[in-house]
Every structure is written in C-alpha cells, then in structure tokens.
Amino acid sequence: MALQKSTEVNGGICDGTCAAANARTHAGVDAGTSPTGTAEKRIKALLTYPPGAVGKPITYSLVRQFDLWINILHAEIAADKAGRLIMDILGDASDIDRGLAFLEDEGIEYEILNGSALWDEDRCVHCGACTAVCPSHALTLDKNDWSLAFDREKCYLCRLCTRACPVGAMSTPI
Amino acid sequence: MGYKSFDEINEKIRSKKAVVVTAEEIIGIVDEVGVEGAFREVDVVTCGTFSPMCSSGAFLNFGHSDPPIRMSKVWLNDVPACAGLAAVDAYIGATELSESRGMEYGGAHVIEDLIAGKKVRLRATSYGTDCYPRRALEAWITADSINEAYMFNPRNCYQNYGAAANTSDRTIYTYMGTLLPKLGNVNYCTAGELSPLICDPFYRTIGLGSRIFLGGAQGYVAWQGTQNNPSQPRAENGVPIGGAACLALIGDLKQMDPRYIRAAVFEKYGVTMFVGVGTAIPLLDEEMVRHVAVRNRDVKTKIFDYSVARRSKPALAEVSYEELRSGSVQVGSRTIPTAPLSSLKMAREIAQKLKDWIVRGEFELQEPVASLPREGSPQALENYEGE
Ligand code: SF4
Ligand code: SF4
C-alpha cells in the first residue's frame, strides 16, 4: 500500500473530520470516567477504510451520535486509497456496540485490538530498528545498557515493528 | 615516549598479566590518569561491532559422493550457492534468496542454520563427466558432516558509515531499515567509539593476518575490504567522516556461535546478515592511546537522503555519534528521532568477551603480516549500456 501520507496522529487531525473528536478527547480520556458513569468500556480498534470512504466523517459521527470518547493513536490515510486508523475508544459498552455496528453499515472494517505485540526476547539482537517506526513509543532503547525495552501498555498493535524487525523478533498474537 | 611491542604484550598475555579494557572503558581511564598514565597501565583495548553486513558468505566443501559428482549448480535449503569452483566446493552468499520462500529466507539463514548445528538440505546438479558421472544429488548436511566450512566476508567492519533519512512523501525500505517519509527518522549503523576501525583510524595495529573475534570464534583479517575507501576525508583526530576503510574477514564457521551471526531480513530490501566482529588493539605507544580513547562526540558522519536513488545521495547534515545516540538530531530547523541498526548491546558484549579471552590467555595478538593501504577510493562503474 503506497500511502500518500503516513503520519502519527495523537490528538491531531486525521481524516479531516476529527477536530470535534479531539476536543472531546482532550477533555478526559485519561481521567477514565465515562460521560454517563454506567458500564464503561475502553477498547482499541483498527479501522480499515476502503478507497473512497476516507472522506466520510466517521470519527465525528462516533463522537456525536454515539457519545464516544476517541483518541486517534495512529493514522495512515490517503484521499483516494484505503486507509488505516487506530483509535482508543471509551464509552458505555452499549454505545460502543452501536458505534461499531455503525462502522459496519458504513462499509468500514474494524478489528478490536487486544493486548500487545509479542516480543521474542531470545531472538532480539537489540539493534533498535523497530524503535525507528514504533509510533506509540512502546519500543525504546534503554540509554544505559542499550537493550530494547518494551512497554506493552503503550503498544496499540499497529504492527509496524513486525515488518521493521530484521530478525523476526516482533510478531502479533493473531 | 615509551613503546610496547606486540611481543612484549603477548608475553604479558601468556603470563596472564595483561591489562585489558574495552574501547569504552579506556575513555574513563584516560580522563582519570591521562594518556601517559593509561599507556603505562593498559596493554590492550578491545573493540566490537554487531551490524548487518551484506558482503558476507561462506565457502563449503561437501565431500565426494560415490559415484562422484562435479556439482555445477548447488542449492542449500533451496537457496542457490555459487558452484563455479572445483567439484564439491561452493560459496553461499548471505544475500542470496530462497527460490521457494523468497525474501523470508536466504543465504544468511543457511549460514545461521549451519552454525546452529541444524540439518540443511543440499541439492546439486551436474552435466556429468567421465570422471564425475553423477548428474544429480540430494543429501542432508550439517556443519560437522562436511569438510571445510569457513566464512569469508569480502567487506565487513566498515570504518564509520553514513546515516540515512528520507525527504520524500512515501516510506522507503532500504538496507538502512525503514525510512519514514518527510524526515520521519534517521537510522545509523556503527558502534561509534567502540567500533574497530574508528579506534585505529590509520590501521597501525590492524592489517592482513590480524587475529580477530569473528562470529564467536577466532578469525583473521584476510585482505582489505571491497570498495575500500581510506581516502575519505578525515576529521582532525584522523577519524573519517563517513564510510571509509573496510576489511575482508575469514574464520572457521564450525567454531562460531549463532548468537554472534544472525540472519536478517530488511523489509522489501532483502536478506543480510548481522556479523559480530571484535578486534584487540595493542597500546603500542601514547598515540594509540589517543586513538582508542576517541569519543562519540568526536566521531562525525553525514546524514544522506536515501529518497534519491542515485549513486551519490545528497548529504542533509553532518552530525556526531553523541548526537545520534541521544535519540534525536537536528536537521535544519527540525528535530528528527534517531535509531541505530547496529546493536550497541551486542557490540559491548563482543568487546567484553574478547577482553575475557585475552585476560585468560586464550587469545594472543597477531602482528599484521602486511599493512592495509592508507590511500585509495573505489571506482564507479561507467560505460554501461541499457537503462
Ligand atoms: S528490531 Fe527486532 S531485533 Fe532489533 S531491537 Fe527491535 S525487536 Fe530487537
Ligand atoms: S505494534 Fe509494534 S510498532 Fe506498533 S505500537 Fe506496538 S510495539 Fe509499537
């Protein structure tokens, strides 16, 4: 996939529609409190936009219609091509389900990302090649002993490291 | 100014009295006791590097079958080897790709598998001769089941190397790793102040015949490396600014350890091999102390724009290894994150291991039998036809 633009978006503008989403995001995704206080859930999802769907105000709808809190973690978007968006979604479990159903109706494939990438420590040679591409800063080199440090909490399974690692030490659970 | 000879130092190694430190440790010692003090106290400084080095491979001799075959085509785990040698000799190059698995498996993986003691499938064909009638053969081999297996790497151990970035709008995939668009990252690939030829910039102690650490075994410098470029402009301390000299290395694959030789795949580029190399520098005089005590801040290289797919790539900036190691560098008005491709952790482990060998009296220094050239630059290929 030759992307026109491959940018890390963390609370920034991605598909041109998420300014509103980010306004909500900044208000409190880190506080961990749901807007309504009921069965709150937090998921990470990978959205794959088919070509042509990129212009749709998806994030805006998720925020407005389903009252979800959204943080864009990673975006690879091109106007005329397929795109990938990884987002942190926080909200009522039922609202999340409705939001995901809406995505399906809009023809956008999604995948719930569970857990983190897998790091085969024995295979790893601590070269650092993966740290160049990891957008979440889950992968970093320890500045003292120069070994790779993997903060699984930060990982959002974008899979860039699995392709960048020259010795096949990074993989994904699925 | 005093002088210590190779012989004196080897005598100390034999009697287990040699004082050996790594090229990182010597910096602190020079800070503490000065160049003169360090010269008096320390005999040998060890260096290490663990980087992807494409120009690597191994010569193998399989032994003769009955009836015998003059192998003219050879595959190892489906990776073609060069068999244009005597009947059962072949050279497996690290970057050669598998005919069935493509970029996911190549010559470097065959080498790694052999070092790890794994069985490798040998397939050979021939046109048949009166003395070698067999025309085809398949067999399982291991490093121990064949006669010779020695690594011969025509170009390893670069003395410094340019860093890489990408100013274009798309991600590019190179032997310098994944380069993100619009200067998204800078990748670099040497061990800096710990790197063998950065610590001996004029090749005073390393030359043909020097004994080295190669892939966990003892190996030797066989020749100057291909594309040797000692005429690269140098900084005041003598260290070239960017890729300069390099070494051809040889060593017994059967003695190697898979920890120090690792097959690597660079996405959409191909297969290469991480090679662990260590050198031991005798502190012959105070000048050598000054050389080995070089610091990252005094080792400079240039960042090249790999989006320009030409022989000469434009340089975007000149930076020091101290800056590269800090995690980000300044290019114009922008701060760009940096990442190494060469493992400093492994380079340190190699320098440490070599130091232990010397301290235990298991590794003596070999004075070069001939010097490496101090001048020369590679020629370009001209007069080609076609695209
Ligand atoms: S790229 Fe692979 S081998 Fe290198 S540090 Fe990352 S996980 Fe380890
Ligand atoms: S999948 Fe890999 S590159 Fe992506 S966030 Fe996780 S660790 Fe980083």
Are residue B80 and residue B142 in the same domain, yes or no?
Answer: yes
Q: Which residue has the tokens 């910096």?
A: B27
d(CA B300, CA B286): 23
Are residue B177 and residue B157 in the same domain, yes or no?
Answer: yes
Asked whether the beta carbons of residue B274 and residue A147 sit closer than 8 angstroms, the reply is no
Q: Does A12 contact chain B (CB < 8 Å)?
A: no
Q: Is residue A1 part of a domain?
A: no
Angle at B150 between CA B144 and CA B154, to 5 degrees: 155
Task: Give tens-digit pLDDT for B213-223.
Answer: 999 999 999 99
Task: Give tens-digit pLDDT for B278-299.
Answer: 999 999 999 999 999 999 999 9
% of chain B surpassing 70 pLDDT: 99
Contact B193, B22 (CB under 8 A): no
Average pLDDT over residues B231-244: 93
Q: Does A162 contact chain B (CB < 8 Å)?
A: no
pLDDT of residue A27 exceeding 70, the answer is no
Q: What is the pLDDT of residue B264?
A: 97
Contact B118, B109 (CB under 8 A): no
Are residue B44 and residue B138 in the same domain, yes or no?
Answer: no
Per the structure, the count of domains in chain A is 2
Are residue A80 and residue A137 in the same domain, yes or no?
Answer: no
Are residue B131 and residue B280 in the same domain, yes or no?
Answer: no
Are residue A13 and residue A72 in the same domain, yes or no?
Answer: yes
Q: Across chain B, what does the average pLDDT equal?
A: 96
The ipTM of this complex is 0.91
Are residue A154 and residue A84 in the same domain, yes or no?
Answer: no
Q: Is residue B363 part of a domain?
A: yes
Hey, whose CA ends up nearest to atom 3 of ligand 1? A124
Instruction: Provide the chain B residues 172-201 that lie in CB contact (below 8 A) with chain A.
Output: 177-178, 180-181, 185, 187
Residue closest to B210 by CA, chosen among B218, B225, B200, B221 = B221
pLDDT of residue A81 exceeding 90, the answer is no
Are residue A40 and residue A79 in the same domain, yes or no?
Answer: yes
d(CA B329, CA B339): 10
Q: Read off the pLDDT band of B1 (50, 70, 90).
A: low
Are residue B140 and residue B156 in the same domain, yes or no?
Answer: no
d(CA A94, CA A112): 15
d(CA A116, CA A134): 12
Active site residues of B: 131
Q: Which residue has the tokens 């100390």?
A: B12
Q: What is the pLDDT of residue A1?
A: 35
Are residue A61 and residue A90 in the same domain, yes or no?
Answer: yes
Are residue B266 and residue B249 in the same domain, yes or no?
Answer: yes
- Name every residue whose Cβ is closer than 8 Å to that of residue B2 and which is 6 or more positions away in sequence: B39, B40, B285, B286
d(CA B210, CA B200): 13
Residue closest to A6 by CA, chosen among A67, A72, A61, A74 = A74
* DSSP type of residue B124: E
Q: Is residue A18 part of a domain?
A: yes
Q: DSSP string covering B218-285, please? A: EEEEEEEPTT--TTS-B-TTS-BSSS---EEEEEEGGG--GGGEEEEEETTTEEEEEEEEEEEEE--S
d(CA A37, CA B141): 66
Residues of B in Cβ contact (< 8 Å) with A163:
178, 267
Q: Does A5 contact chain B (CB < 8 Å)?
A: yes
Q: What is the pLDDT of residue B27?
A: 98
Q: Does A79 contact chain B (CB < 8 Å)?
A: no
Q: Is residue B383 part of a domain?
A: no
Going from the Cα of A135 to the center of ligand 2, the distance in angstroms, rounded, reads 7
d(CA A119, nearest CA chain B) in Å? 16
The parent domain of residue A85 ranges over 7-113
Can you tell me whether residue B286 is helix, strand or coil?
helix
Hey, whose CA ends up nearest to atom 6 of ligand 2? A155
Q: Is residue B33 part of a domain?
A: yes
Q: Smallest Cβ distance to A132: which of B50, B178, B265?
A: B178
Asked whether the beta carbons of residue A146 and residue B348 sit closer than 8 angstroms, the reply is yes
Strand partners, B164: B187, B304
Q: In the numeric block, which tokens belong to residue B377?
A: 């630059």
The parent domain of residue B78 ranges over 63-146
Average pLDDT over residues A128-146: 93
CATH number at residue A57: 3.30.70.260
Angle at A58 between CA A56 and CA A64, to 5 degrees: 125
Residues of B in Cβ contact (< 8 Å) with A124:
none
d(CA A27, CA A40): 16
Q: Is residue B201 part of a domain?
A: yes
d(CA A168, CA B231): 37
Is A165 close to ligand 2, i.e. is its CB under 6 Å away? no
pLDDT of residue B236 exceeding 60, the answer is yes
Are residue B215 and residue B254 in the same domain, yes or no?
Answer: yes
A–B CB contacts, 8 A cutoff, strictly below:
78
- Name every residue whose Cβ is closer than 8 Å to that of residue B145 and which is 6 or more positions away in sequence: B63
Can you tell me whether residue B143 is helix, strand or coil?
coil
Q: Is residue B205 part of a domain?
A: yes
Q: Is residue B135 part of a domain?
A: yes
Q: What is the pLDDT of residue A5?
A: 34
Taking the CA atoms of A153, A159, A165 and A170 in sequence, report the sign of the dihedral they define.
positive
Q: DSSP string covering B312-343, please? A: SPPEEEEEEHHHHHTTEEEETTEEEEEEESS-
Which range (A5-9, B49-53, B110-114) has the least confidence? A5-9
Pocket residue to mutate for ligand 2, from A86, A136, A163, most atoms within 8 A of Cβ: A136
Among residues A65, A80, A113, the one where a domain terminates is: A113
Taking the CA atoms of A119, A122, A125 and A126 in sequence, report the sign of the dihedral they define.
positive
Asked whether the beta carbons of residue A143 and residue B327 sit closer than 8 angstroms, the reply is yes
Residue closest to B287 by CA, chosen among B199, B347, B382, B368 = B199
